[in-house]
Amino acid sequence: MTKKFLTIAMVFALFVTACKETKQESAEITTSDSVENTVTEDIVTMKSTDKDGKELNIAFNNTQGTATIDFEGETAELTTQKAASGFWYANDTYELQGKGNDVMLKKDGNLVFEHQDDIVNSSLKNAKGETLDMTFNNTDNTVKVYVNGGDQIELKGERAASGIWYKNDHYELRGKGDNLELTKDGETLFKN
């Protein structure tokens, strides 16, 4: 009985000692000068050009809630503001607002930069009564397509010999004028 009690006591003592050493090692690792704390920041960059050819470079730091702008040789950091939709950043001099690719920059209350994507909406109906609704973004060469009001299909523009050609991994939209065909994996979904 004494032997069992002694064995249990020794195992318990080893366990407690091991836990203490692990805690000390953890503390040493945490406080050691040689260990680097790595913080991954979520930074998204954006470059925009207005109708006059002026460029605005923006680096959104989503971790810190800031946007750093570079415009006409000036660099400034703005902090996030509560926006109803889209984004809004400001400091004492600049105010940056936008949604998607559309951007507006004000300096001291005056509009100094504005970019809006060239968006064209179109809708077609074929002889079967099916509809094809399309939202073309001519600025970034994309189209969002909806067949009979269904799910959104996003396609990227390709170089066509004539007419239009947009595609992704499964869908293709081709045609000229109002004569368009949308296919999925080679099968026609809409044609007029």
C-alpha separations of 67 from 75, 100, 160, 167 in Å: 10, 15, 38, 33
**Amino acid, single-letter form, for residue 79:** T
Is there a domain that residue 30 lies in? no
What number is the average pLDDT over the span 89-108? Answer: 95
pLDDT band at 101 (very low <50, low <70, confident <90, very high): confident
- Domain with 107, as residue range(s), is 43-115
**Domain end call among 57, 88, 115:** 115
- What is the pTM assigned to this prediction? 0.59
pLDDT higher than threshold 90 for residue 97: yes
Q: What is the CATH number of the domain that holds 173?
A: 2.40.128
pLDDT at 79: 97
pLDDT higher than threshold 90 for residue 178: no
Neighbours of 136 (CB within 10 A): 20
Beta bridge partners of 146: 133, 152
In terms of domains, do 186 and 169 share one?
A: yes
What number is the average pLDDT over the span 61-85? Answer: 94
Is there a domain that residue 178 lies in? yes
Alpha helix positions (H), 32-145: none
- Closest C-alpha among 120, 150, 117, 110 to residue 132: 150
Question: Could you report the per-residue pLDDT of 26-63, keeping only the tens digit for each?
Answer: 334 344 455 555 667 889 999 999 988 999 999 999 99
Chain mean pLDDT for the chain: 84
